[in-house]
Amino acid sequence: MRQPHAVGFSRKKWRIAKRIYIAKADAESTPFLRRRRRRRLSLSLSPSLASSMENPPQAPPFGFGDRRPGALGDLCVLPDEVICSILDYLSPSDVARLSCVSSAMYILCNEEPLWMSLCLNSKRSDKLLQYRGSWKETTLYLENLPTECIETCRKRLHFDGFNSLFLYRRLYRCHTTLNGFSMDSGNVERKNDISLEEFRHEYDGKKPVLLTGLADTWPAKTSWTIDQLLCKYGDTPFRISQRSSRKILMKLKDYVSYTKVQHDEDPLYIFDDNFGEAAPGLLKDYRVPHLFQEDFFDVLDFEQRPPYRWLIIGPERSGASWHVDPALTSAWNTLLCGRKRWALYPPGKVPLGVTVHVNEDDGDVNVQGPSSLQWWLDFYPLLADEDKPIECTQLPGETIFVPSGWWHCILNLETTVAVTQNFVNSKNFEFVCLDMAPGYCHKGVSRAGLLAVDGGMSGEAEMVDLRQFDTLNHSDSTRKEKRLRTQHGDQMSNGGAANGASKRNCIGQREMREWLFKLWVGKPEMRELLWKGACLALNTEKWLKCLAEICAFYKLPYPMDSERLPVGTGSNPVYLIGDHVVKIFAEEGLENAMYSLGTELEFYNLVDQVSSPLRNNIPDVLASGLLYLEDDESLTVLPWDGQKVPDIISNYNLIPPKCSVHGFPFGVWSKKRYEYTKAGMSMSESICSASCSRIWPFIITKRCKGKIYAQLRDTLSIQDTLDLAAFLGEQLRNLHMLPCPSFVSQSFSDIGQTVESQVTNHQVETHLSSSKVTAEWNIFLGTLSRKKMTLASRLTRWGDPIPSALIEKADEYIPDDLTKLLSSYKDYPKEGCQPSWIHSDIMDDNIHMEPRSIDCYNNRISPRVGCMDNGNDGSELGQSWRPSHILDFSDLSVGDPLYDLIPIHLDVFRGDSYLLKQLLQNYKIPLPGGQLQHQSLRDIKYQRLSYRAMCYCILHEENVLAAIFSIWKDLRRAESWEEVEQTVWGELNEYKGFP
């Protein structure tokens, strides 16, 4: 390819290109730098580049005209960077075809940065990646093209008359070296042999510092060279950092080979949070320095805590673009080999060229900006001296400390090897809690995101201002937690420094609640600080006021200090007060809360009426009602048993349409209608519909003795686990045999018509024929139909670890006519064959266990839920446990009983088919399907229980697919949903109903 200086520019064209560049830079920056930028356009870091820009080459002597208008047609009005961005969205085959359109398009479609992006986002990139000399050749190899096609991709690109400043600059970044960079030691303080007291007083939470001597005794200081690592771990796959949502792995020997031949604008580098599991020997080569030993996340089990340590290996020109570390944690980074250039800005000072995007729905923050090398080349020289970042060059053996919330950008000046860890301590704890709080009001990354949007403030003034959000009127209309957990390494992947952006909160509300409670129990001396953090993250001050009012009304004891934090891992606050459990319904706003409590109370009433054996294995309800905030800001308790409509609710126009105000107006069928309506809403619409935050339903139940299964999972014997599976089979049978409440079909008479209009608007061929199904089944299928209409966008939003190849096939896998899912129900069109009650949420924290011998429990209360292994529960190592109760019926619904197996199999059993078989043996009532009937081969799949279960997983409102692809990691390479179906649910097809 012709070198950059040989590409001809007339001085007129050069001036035009220069104006375009300045205009683009102005659009991406703050106003106060624009005039200064025009005066400082010279790029002083690289003499060769500055010289070529100040003295542009003359036009070629042969007088070739400009090819651009003829070669691009109407597209010539678009800047090259826009055209290249569009090409990123095409498939490799489409890019190959487009390259044949014209000479200009041939150049644009054969750029290595384009093919790098196409390769890393390829459907087959989840294999171990092996670079084959060029990204185009690597992509074509992954596409399984013949060898003769691959060999032609090395053709040189050479066209006179096509000039592109954008491509020229990118080509320069691909081939430049950093030897010419003039880097001094920088202005970050360097300290040696610093004490813990000095570190906490001078630097922790305040400013960065370079520390020497912390790694002097590490084996890694001498053994972590490329050659030695290659010798020990050459065949070990490590995770690669790149701007792609996919998880890319390369063997170390293949990665080192890549670094020696690559000429990438933003080279790949190893950024692996799983290196300790992939190569355990590496963990023995270093230890956490004494200055950073305090880490509040260490109370969590390894599989529970967010990713916190990374192995980093990168070649010259690689690095991390501008970002703030996830969850506003602090970090230390020790360099063992090579040199790194750091640039840092304090919290709230967004770097030039970086844009912060805040999600209007949930406050998540996405940061967009140039690569590290591009920022140093294109943006750093434009800064006035007073606007330049704090910077330094890190040398081997040095450790840099990055405080919470500080922006930083790293450029590898040569091949480097480093290790880094993030941590939470007393200095950054409140900011970490604030960052994890849900809702747009916190704007995700508090000190980085909020200040970038709303203006500047810092330190204590900022925290005081942000605490104003923590009032009694704070909105509860937050999104529902996605509760099916995935395995470590996938559940909290957020990019962080790898992608140059803190994309998501570090852990969810469910994990946050458990983490804070473990800290509360384990660090009682720090409860004042922990309470401040809990108020920010969980709004605990508000809920404690509500709890105190409920306790006073029902003459319950006031919560003790150890009972001030909510327990459990759901989204609704739950408190254990003596022998009582108090649950306040707040998830997704008042309307959802009313239906949750109303359905639960209707269910308990029905269980008592029919004397179901389920009664012995669910908690006793002691009281229920509504707590509401008066105009004078006082709290009032109003008892409510679920029957009739309270006057306070009538004022908010929440009475279900066409439903009687007597009986259970917020019972299960009204809830089904609400679920149907909500299934067609966007997240923002759903939030708007749940805007009331002055009324909170609540329920008080009798406290069960023992522990939840989540606390005991790893200590139970095989027999205890088998007994649990048998218990769940029996209780599901009792639940599914309960009669359903009377169905008022007039209340749903408009559903079929509504579905048809929604289908037309979304151009989705989903057929619901009321003549095929009873009205009860019609509402169930109608809800599924509405979920199917938004399926593609929902799966795409969830992304990894769901394979993109399967996301594209999801609509095809699920039938257009959803009534076919029920074709196994021989009698479902007939009167009397109704859907069943379903719990919908039987997970490991909703199953209660008690010791088989409970003599020691007489007349005493066991420790509260969440208190693990504190030695106060009367149990001993090797104690045998038996299941006693199923908890939390707020997610009750009506539908296919098969639905209840999804959370049990994926969360409780973790995919163990033997436990699923044990459950089915004790279920003992038919699940239609499994036994193939006389139908055409085309319709046989509709008879498979496994097929129906897989469809329900795909259409599920929660991301259960992430749990599936985390449990069965090999399925990430599956090429069809049928393969996933048979692996996960194949055991169902052997079920025959009655033994």
Inter-residue contact 704 to 885 (CB < 8 Å): yes
Report how far residue 127's alpha carbon sits from residue 944's, in angstroms, rounded to the nearest whole number: 31
Cα dihedral value 181, 184, 190, 192, nearest 10: 80
Q: Identify which of 875, 842, 862, 878 has the alpha carbon closest to the alpha carbon of residue 483.
A: 842
655-683 pLDDT, tens digit each: 666 555 567 889 998 898 888 888 866 55
Q: Between 718-736 and 913-923, two packed helices, what is the crossing angle to 10 degrees?
A: 40
Inter-residue contact 352 to 30 (CB < 8 Å): yes
* Lookup: tokens for 150: 């691959």
Inter-residue contact 432 to 404 (CB < 8 Å): yes
The answer on pLDDT for 842 being more than 90 is yes
The helix or strand, by DSSP H or E, that contains position 623, with its residue range, turns out to be strand 621-629
397-440 pLDDT, tens digit each: 999 999 998 999 999 999 999 999 999 999 999 888 888 776 54
The helix or strand, by DSSP H or E, that contains position 135, with its residue range, turns out to be helix 135-142
Report how far residue 333's alpha carbon sits from residue 324's, in angstroms, rounded to the nearest whole number: 14
**Residue 589: band (very low, low, confident or very high) from pLDDT cuts 50, 70, 90:** confident
What is residue 158's predicted lDDT score, i.e. its pLDDT? 61
Extended beta strands in 630-773, E state: 635-639, 695-702, 707-708
Of 51-60, 83-92, 877-886, 963-972, the range with the lowest mean pLDDT is 51-60
**Residue 768: band (very low, low, confident or very high) from pLDDT cuts 50, 70, 90:** very low
**Phi and psi (nearest 5°) for 198?**
-65, -40
912-933 pLDDT, tens digit each: 999 999 999 999 887 765 444 4
What is residue 9's predicted lDDT score, i.e. its pLDDT? 37
Q: What does the H/E/C string look like for 149-210?
A: HHHHHHCCCCCCCCCCHHHHHHHHHHHCCCCCCCCCCECCCEEECCCHHHHHHHCCCCCCEE
Side-chain-side CA neighbours of residue 213 (13 Å) = 8
Within 8 A by CB and 6+ apart from 717, the residues are: 880
Give bridge partners of residue 400 from the DSSP assignment.
210, 333
In this structure, the number of other CB atoms found within 10 A of the CB of residue 829 comes to 14
Report, as an integer, the average pLDDT of 89-101. Answer: 89
44-61 pLDDT, tens digit each: 333 333 333 334 444 444
Within 8 A by CB and 6+ apart from 821, the residues are: 781, 784, 815, 896, 942, 948, 951
938-959 pLDDT, tens digit each: 567 888 899 999 999 999 988 9
What is residue 159's predicted lDDT score, i.e. its pLDDT? 64
End-to-end alpha-carbon separation of the chain, Å?
74
Sign of CA dihedral 602, 604, 607, 609: negative
Q: Identify which of 434, 474, 427 has the alpha carbon closest to the alpha carbon of residue 451.
A: 434
Report how far residue 762's alpha carbon sits from residue 741's, in angstroms, rounded to the nearest whole number: 34
What is residue 493's predicted lDDT score, i.e. its pLDDT? 32
**Phi and psi (nearest 5°) for 484?**
-70, 115
Of 192-196, 506-510, 578-582, 969-973, the range with the lowest mean pLDDT is 506-510
Question: Between 159 and 904, whose confidence is greater?
Answer: 904
In this structure, the number of other CB atoms found within 10 A of the CB of residue 102 comes to 20
Q: State whether residue 399 is helix, strand or coil.
A: strand
Inter-residue contact 889 to 603 (CB < 8 Å): yes
Upstream peptide bond of 801 is cis (omega within 30 degrees of 0):
yes
Question: Between 907 and 39, whose confidence is greater?
Answer: 907
Inter-residue contact 959 to 484 (CB < 8 Å): yes
